[in-house]
Structure 1
Amino acid sequence: MTGAPRQRSAFLSLLPWGERRAISGALRTETVGGLVLLAAALIALIWANSPWSGAYETVRETHFGIRALGVDLSVGHWASDGLLTVFFLVAGIELKRELVVGELRTPAAAALPVVAAVCGMAVPAALYAVIAAAGGGSLSGWAVPMATDIAFALAVLAVLSTSLPTALRAFLLTLAVVDDLGAILIIAVFFTSNLNFLALAGAVGGLMLFYVLQRRRVRGWWWYAPLGVLIWALMYNGGVHATVAGVAMGLILRTKSDTPAPQGRQPGLEVMSAGDRTAHLLRPFSAGVAVPLFALFAAGVSVSPASIGAVFARPEPLGVVAGLVIGKSVGIFAGTYLTARFTRARLNPDLAWADVFALAVLAGIGFTVALLIGELAFPDPAEAAHVKAAVLTGSVIAAVLAAVLLKGRDRVYRRLCEEEDRDDDGDGIPDIYQHGGRGAA
């Protein structure tokens, strides 16, 4: 006697209402921040290639610091080591939230996006290594094409006025969150030198105190802000990239609220968890200030026919471009498709595998973290400039290809979004969640 066939789970179907609200709020902020990021990158490129390029270099290399904390950095390094810590703090909170209450909380649900993200990091790194080795180049930049810039990708969607169903946007966000974790692990393991174990011990002690304060439900920014700055400074002086402190504190913050919000209502700040409250307050600064300022001082590279030619003539920048454009697309799509086949996950019938491939191409926009890793992997300014130009070139190519693919399906996306957002009874909850519509749960 044979059993009933196993029910195949739906992939990229309608999200639960609570999860959709949380993700939509985060994506709105990231979209606005992405537009600011795009403007900052354009300003950097124009400034660095204008008659005032000398002023750009002067400002970027100006040093100042906090002597009491043993920190003396250039403006460019303050942007990458300091401001990006806030970005990674928010990323750490997002990752913790996904692991505790989000899409990654169960192994079955986490398998597909995690495998897709890992493949989306491994294939670009391998492709870079093959191209660099074949051309006799340096293998130091293998990690550069591994990261996805969610803000830049959302900015491209906003510029194109392209609607995407929330499930596709959530999948892209999950890929980016796992990417960020992979990036911070790579930075911590492979770009750490001259360790000061006393300072690192102090940073670990600070994180333990941070953990105790969280477990005891201690509230008040006046406890955490000075402690966070101290942990950051100790991490920097310990020889580990200071942004690791941000993601560590983000993972420690609690993501479950002790006081649930009234049913059917958006939780206010007073009932949010510590992690959600911190992310709510810091995400606008991270997306609208920290990341754009980093881009302003990282994306200013000389653009000329010779520099563009070098991107496709030298093995290192060519490996970065190929990794972002080809490696990301192949890795994410193959990882998603094969995992869905082996886990019996059924694709949402309103979508097609072409939509997943378009999303994989869009994930090839690797800007912020790719530029950061490029600076760490190539300390020589001339080599770093070539790699930065490659990151910009690869990201633009991926954006253009994704735009073509997504615009071809825009009519389908608009119809699905209209179904998701329709609220004929005006109660603030889309009808699809109340009247048994597509994927209602």
Structure 2
Amino acid sequence: MVSLRRKARRLRLRRKAVTSEVARFLRTEQIGGLILLGATALALIVANSPLQDWYQTLSDTVIGPSALHLNLTLATWAEDGLLAIFFVVAGLELKRELVVGELRNPRQAMLPIAGALGGMIVPALVCLAVAWGAPGGKDAWPVPVATDIAFALAVLAITARDLPPSLRVFLLSLAIVDDLGAILLIAVLFTSHISIPALLGAAAVMGVYIVLQRMRIKGWWIYIPLALLTWVLVHESGIHATIAGVAIGLATRVKPDPGEHEATAELLEHRLQPISAGICVPLFAFFAAGIPFTFSDIGVMFSDRAALGVLLGLVVGKTIGVFGGAALSVKSGLGRLPESLHWHDLAAVAVLTGCGFTVSLLIAELAFPEGTQQGSIKAAVLVGSLTASLLAAALLRGRVRTRRG
């Protein structure tokens, strides 16, 4: 009997060690980035293959309680639900940088904020300048304003892990501000009804969350229900539910108390990071990236000024806007470039912000109903995002080689 207990104990320890090793593996950003890009490639292949009908049926499968208005498709669950977990992790990282990291200096915090503002305004102006007077020209400008934070961070992790951490902090902060701006645009331009009671309810629940954090109350059994209720209320309000994830991350305590081994934010990030990188973000990419398109869509894109405006907005407008906004903030004295970074590093990341991908595709679907110019606009998003990613990857690798030299 004693021998059996020892064997069972050894088996449990072995399983725990394997689980811990898998979690450590998934916390490596390069691995998470490769899994994400693999899921994206798989989605594009399946959506443009004989399995297209199966993929569409799977994406449109509805699950969830209708009484709570949560009878959503699997694609919506991935976009609104699973991605919210990624935004919790991103919010935790941003909060840490704002409180105890590089962004605690207001001038350094202004650098990504100014870059994000420029990266929203200039692409919209470029798109309008190219497409003005053409069919769909006045509807296309919101499409290139977004940066896909998950994909941009994945490309940066794979191609530029030897560059200073400040560069990742800059991109993360900029992309979060950028995504919040895109969510605000969606709410203003494409949401027919916003439920104020649901928004107030979400704010009240977040207030309880913050008070419990300040009172140093611990226990996952308290915070998980509060986080889920916040997500449900934000979703019910009509605003993109991922904003609940950012709010939870920013509301979590990041400074450990005297004698405390780690703060709540560090513990939560440690637990959620492998789940986000290994499950949530790849599944989101699989359901979001499966866009069926043909070479005729790409051909039409080059004769469609609205689509060209989107393409140039992503590749040219994003680069000029982000780099120009950051440079203007430094020139005016409002922002400051970290000592570890060079302007060439910032220029390479500015190109990378042109990876609008899933967020831009979502706005394209809202701005252009199916049967209009949606095919060519989506083709422009895919081509523009791919072009920006490849150019940025080459520039970032060049910066790595230069620094090594």
- Pick the TM interval, shorter chain: 0.7 to 0.9
Displacement of 1:161: 7.3
Aligned to 1:49: 48
Determine the structure 2 residue equivalent to 1:152.
151
| Equivalent AA in structure 2 for residue 118 of structure 1 | L
1:54 and 1:413 map into 2 onto residues whose CA distance is 48
SS in 2 for 1:134: coil
1:439 corresponds in structure 2 to none
The residue aligned with 2:261 is 271
State the alpha-carbon separation in 2 of the partners of residues 344 and 100 from structure 1.
Answer: 19
Matched with 1:130 is 129
Q: After TM superposition, give the deviation of residue 39 of structure 1 in Å.
A: 0.8
Separation in structure 2 between the aligned mates of residue 154 and residue 241 of structure 1, nearest angstrom: 21
Instruction: Give me the whole-angstrom Cα distance separating, in 2, the residues matched to 1:348 and 1:88.
Output: 25
Listed as ranges, the matches of 1:7-406 within 5 Å are: 29-137=28-136, 139-157=138-156, 160=159, 163-259=162-258, 271-343=261-333, 353-378=343-368, 380=370, 383-406=373-396
2-side partners of 1:410 and 1:344: how far apart?
29
* CA shift for structure 1 position 63: 0.8
Distance 1:390 1:100 in 2: 39
In structure 1, C-alpha distance between the alignment counterparts of 2:36 and 2:364, rounded to whole Å: 18
Map Cα deviations across residues 311-362 of structure 1 (whole Å, 9 max, x no partner).
Answer: 3333443222211100111112222333333329887898754333222112
Q: What SS does the aligned partner of 2:299 have?
A: helix
Q: What is the Cα-based RMSD across aligned positions, in Å?
A: 3.0
Query: In structure 2, what is the Cα distance between the partners aligned to 1:350 and 1:199?
Result: 44
Give, in whole Å, the separation in 2 of the partners of 1:224 and 1:277.
Answer: 13
% identity of equivalent residues: 52
Q: Count the aligned residue pairs.
A: 381
How far apart, CA to CA, are the structure 2 residues paired with 1:241 and 1:344? Answer: 31
Structure 1: gaps spanning 5 or more residues: 1-24, 261-269, 416-441
CA distance, structure 1, for counterparts of residue 189 and residue 34 of structure 2: 32
Is the Cα–Cα contact under 8 Å of residues 90 and 279 in structure 1 kept in the other structure? yes
CA contact (8 A) 1:30 1:150 kept: no
Change (3 A) 1:161 1:106: closer
TM-aligned CA deviation for residue 31 of structure 1: 3.2
| CA distance in 1: counterparts of 2:336 and 2:232, whole angstroms | 48
SS at match of 1:309: helix
Cα distance between partner residues in 2 of 1:245 and 1:160: 30
Task: Give the helix-richer structure, 1 or 2.
Answer: 2
Once the two structures are TM-superposed, the CA of residue 227 in structure 1 deviates from its matched residue by 2.1
Contact 2:35 2:282 in 1 (8 A): yes
Cα distance in 1 between the residues matched to 2:287 and 2:166: 34
In structure 1, give the amino acid aligned to 2:332. F
TM-score, length-scaled by structure 1? 0.77
Cα distance change, pair 189–224 in 1 and its aligned pair in 2 (3 A):
farther
Report the TM-score when normalising by structure 2: 0.83
Q: Which runs of 4+ in 1 moved over 6 A?
A: 344-351
